[in-house]
Chain A
Amino acid sequence: MKPMFRRIWGLMYRHLALYRRSWPRLVELSYWPILQMCIWGFTARFLAARMGSPGLMAGATLLGGVLLWEVTLRSQMGMSLSFLEEIWSRNLGHIFVSPLRPFEMVAALISMSIIRMLLGVMPAILLAWALYAFNLFTVGPVLILFFVNLMIMGWAVALGVVSLVLRHGAGAEPLAWGVLFGLAPFSAVFYPVSVLPSFIQPFSYALPTTHVFEGMRAALLQGVIRWDHLAAAFGLNLIWLACAALLFTRQFHAARVSGALISIGE
C-alpha cells in the first residue's frame, strides 16, 4: 500500500476501532434517521388516508425528502464529528505531528463520513420500504447522483465547521450539530422552491441541495430526470467545495500561526 493510502487508512482504522468498541456510537448512527422515518412515515400515511391520491404523492415526496436530507446531514455530521473525536480524545497533537498531510486527514474524514452515512441512512431506507411500502430506489440509477451531490454538499459544510473549530476551538463545536439545519428551509426539502418568497429564491437556487430536491420531486412525481438540475447541483457543489477547501487551508495555517492546534481542546 502506498504511504499516502496507508496514512489515510490509519486514521480510518482509528475511528473504525472506536465503533467496534462502542455500541452506543453505533446505535446513534441510525437512531435519528430511523426516528425521523417513523414520524414522517406515519404522517405520510395519514395524509394518504385522508387525501387519497394527492396525499399519496405528497407523502412520497415527504419521505423522499426526509431520506435524502438525512444523506446530507449524516455526511456532514459524519465528517465533523470524526474530527471532533480527535479533540475530545486530546489526540490532535499526535495526529498533526505525524506525517499525515492535512488533505489526507480530510480524505480519511470523508471516507468515515461515507461509512457513517451508509450505516445511518440505509436502515431508514429499508424501514421506509418495510413499513410504508416506499421504495426510494424506484427513482432509478439517478439516485446515486442525488446521493453523490448531497454528500458533497455535506462535506463542504463539514469542512467549514472543521475550519471554524480549528480557528475558534471548542466554542465552535455546536455548529457541527446545528449549521446544516439553517440551510434546510432554503433547500426545498419538503416543498418546491416556488413556494418560497421571490427574494429568497435566488439564495435557494445557490444551494446544490435545492437542485437535488427539485430533481427528486420531478423523478418521483413526473417520472422525469431533470438533468439541468443535476448539472446545476454538480456545478454549485464544485464551487462550494472549492470555497470550503480554501477556507480550511487558510484556517489550518492560521491555527498553526496562532497556536490553536496546541490548545484546541480548551
Chain B
Amino acid sequence: MNAIKVENLTKRYGEVLAVDDISFVAPTGATVGLLGGNGAGKTTTIAMLLALLVPTAGRINVLGHDMAKDRFAALARMNFSSPYVALPARLTVRENMRVYGHLYDVPRVEQRIAALSRELDLGAILDRPAGQLSAGQKTRVALAKALINRPEVLLLDEPTASLDPDTGDLVRTWLEQYRAESGCTILLASHNMAEVERLCSHVVMLKKGRVVDRGSPDELLERYGRHDMEDVFLDIARDRRQAVPA
C-alpha cells in the first residue's frame, strides 16, 4: 500500500521545466528521501504534493485522495515542516499550537500541546513568543506544529538545516520514534546525506527536474560503488560516474 503515489508529474513555468515527468511512490510507513542539488525540483515537488502548486501534468494521490479533486481531505491527514516557512513571531509557542490545533480540528488540543511539549522538550519555551527562539528551538516548535494533528503523511523540507549536530540528532531520533510508533509516512527533502542514510528506506534522486535514480541507500551505494551517500550525491550531481550496471 502506498501512502503517496506520484505519476508523470510535470511542472512548467513558461519555458522553464521545473519538474519533468517524474513518478515515484512512498510506501505506507516508510521514510522516503527526495534528494537533489539546488534547482533539482524537490521544493516544487513538495509544493505540488501539498497542493500549493497546481501541476502542469500528472497525478498525485495521497492517502487514497486525488489531490486535484479532493485535496482538503488529504491535507487534514498530512502536515509539513520547513525552516523556510515561519510561524507568527509575536504569538507564543502555545498560541501558535492552538491556532494549528483549531485549523486541523485536533480534539482536546490543550492535552495534545502538553503531550508534544513533553515529547519535544518545549516546556520552558511554551509561553515565549516564537520570534524570540533560537534556531534549534524554532525547529522543535516547527516539528511540534507539524505533528499537532498526528499526521499520517509528513512532508519535511530540510528539517535539520542550520541545526547543531546535537539538536539535529535529537530531531532525527524523534522522527524515527514517531514513524515507528505511528506508522506515519515521511517524505524528506534534505541535503544532509548522513541524515538520509540514517532515516530513509527509499531514496529518489532528482536532477534538473527528472528522476535520475532511485533505490534504498544500500542499493545506491552498491550501484555507484561508494561508501557513503555524499559521494553518490556528488557522482550524480556532477555526472562523475554512472551507476554500475547490476
A92 to B242, CA, bound (A): 41
A97 to B44, CA, bound (A): 14
Residues A14 and B88 in contact, CB atoms below 8 Å apart: yes
Q: Residue B1 at the A interface, CB < 8 A?
A: no
Residues B86 and A90 in contact, CB atoms below 8 Å apart: yes
The interface centre, meaning the residue of A10, A95, A97, A261 with most chain B CB atoms within 10 A of its CB, is: A97
CB distance from B66 to the nearest CB of A (A): 16
Residues B85 and A90 in contact, CB atoms below 8 Å apart: yes
Residues A97 and B80 in contact, CB atoms below 8 Å apart: yes
Q: Which of A98-106, A152-160, A214-222 binds B?
A: A98-106
Q: Residue B240 at the A interface, CB < 8 A?
A: no
Of the residues B54, B92, B145, contact of A257 by C-beta under 8 Å: B54
Residues of B within 8 A of A11 (CB): 99, 102-103
Residues of B within 8 A of A203 (CB): none
Of the residues B75, B85, B105, contact of A3 by C-beta under 8 Å: B105
CB distance from A20 to the nearest CB of B (A): 9
With both beta carbons as reference points, the residue of chain A lying nearest to B82 in the complex is identified as A93
Instruction: Give the residues from 75 to 110 in chain B that come closer than 8 angstroms, CB to CB, to chain A.
Output: 75-76, 78-80, 82, 85-92, 95, 98-105
Residues B47 and A259 in contact, CB atoms below 8 Å apart: yes
CB distance from A116 to the nearest CB of B (A): 17
Residues A7 and B105 in contact, CB atoms below 8 Å apart: yes
Residues B91 and A17 in contact, CB atoms below 8 Å apart: yes
Q: Residue A129 at the B interface, CB < 8 A?
A: no
Of the residues A14, A90, A101, contact of B72 by C-beta under 8 Å: A101
Residues of B within 8 A of A96 (CB): 52
Of the residues B85, B87, B101, contact of A10 by C-beta under 8 Å: B101
With both beta carbons as reference points, the residue of chain A lying nearest to B80 in the complex is identified as A97
**Binary A-proximity of B115-133 (CB < 8 A = 1, otherwise 0):** 0000000000000010000
Residues of B within 8 A of A95 (CB): 103
Residues B52 and A97 in contact, CB atoms below 8 Å apart: yes
Residues B102 and A6 in contact, CB atoms below 8 Å apart: yes
Residues A18 and B88 in contact, CB atoms below 8 Å apart: yes
Residues B72 and A256 in contact, CB atoms below 8 Å apart: no
Residues B87 and A100 in contact, CB atoms below 8 Å apart: no
Of the residues B72, B75, B82, B90, contact of A18 by C-beta under 8 Å: B90
Residues A10 and B86 in contact, CB atoms below 8 Å apart: no
Of the residues A18, A89, A256, A258, contact of B13 by C-beta under 8 Å: A258
